[in-house]
């Protein structure tokens, strides 16, 4: 893998954006993670109650709290669900009350 990455660096010149994804960062060779090879590391975790607020604003246009938000946020804090899964659910219906009850 290191030889492949170094080969990409040599043919891409100075402008390059390469995106790597893994579910097991701890299993990667530390040399692969060093600055110069991977300069930015972003952890994509599970959805949080604050993350739900952002998704509700983006997908539903809700700026203020909906009456179901406290219950939904409590559930999100108790389970492991990705922001993508929450967003998928929020896109299923245009009726906000029906959607949030689902």
- Read off the pLDDT of residues 61-102 as tens digits, 9 standing for 90 and up: 887 778 888 999 999 999 999 999 999 988 887 777 777 776
Whether 27 maps to a domain, the answer reads: yes
Domain that holds residue 11: 2-33
62 and 88 both lie in a single domain:
yes
53 and 29 both lie in a single domain:
no
For the stretch 22-54, pLDDT in tens is 889 999 888 888 887 788 889 889 999 999 999
Helices 83-90 and 49-60 cross at an angle (nearest 10°) of 30
When comparing pLDDT for 98 and 4, which is higher? 98
Cβ neighbours of residue 48 under 8 Å, at least 6 residues apart? 76, 77
The angle subtended at Cα 34 by Cα 33 and Cα 35, nearest 5°, is 120
Distance CA 35, CA 66 (A): 44
Name the one residue in this structure whose structure tokens are 């990667």: 28
Predicted TM-score (pTM) of this structure: 0.65
29 and 54 both lie in a single domain:
no
Whether 81 maps to a domain, the answer reads: yes
Whether 97 maps to a domain, the answer reads: yes
60 and 92 both lie in a single domain:
yes
């Amino acid at each position: 893998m290191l030889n492949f990455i170094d080969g990409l660096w040599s043919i891409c010149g100075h402008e390059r954006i390469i995106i790597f994804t893994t579910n097991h960062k701890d299993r990667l060779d530390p040399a692969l993670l060093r600055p110069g090879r991977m300069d930015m590391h972003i952890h994509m975790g599970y959805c949080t109650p604050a993350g739900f607020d952002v998704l509700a604003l983006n997908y539903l246009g809700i700026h203020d709290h909906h009456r179901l938000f406290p219950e939904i946020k409590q559930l999100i804090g108790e389970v492991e669900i990705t922001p993508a899964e929450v967003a998928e659910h929020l896109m299923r219906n245009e009726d906000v009350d029906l959607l949030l009850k689902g």
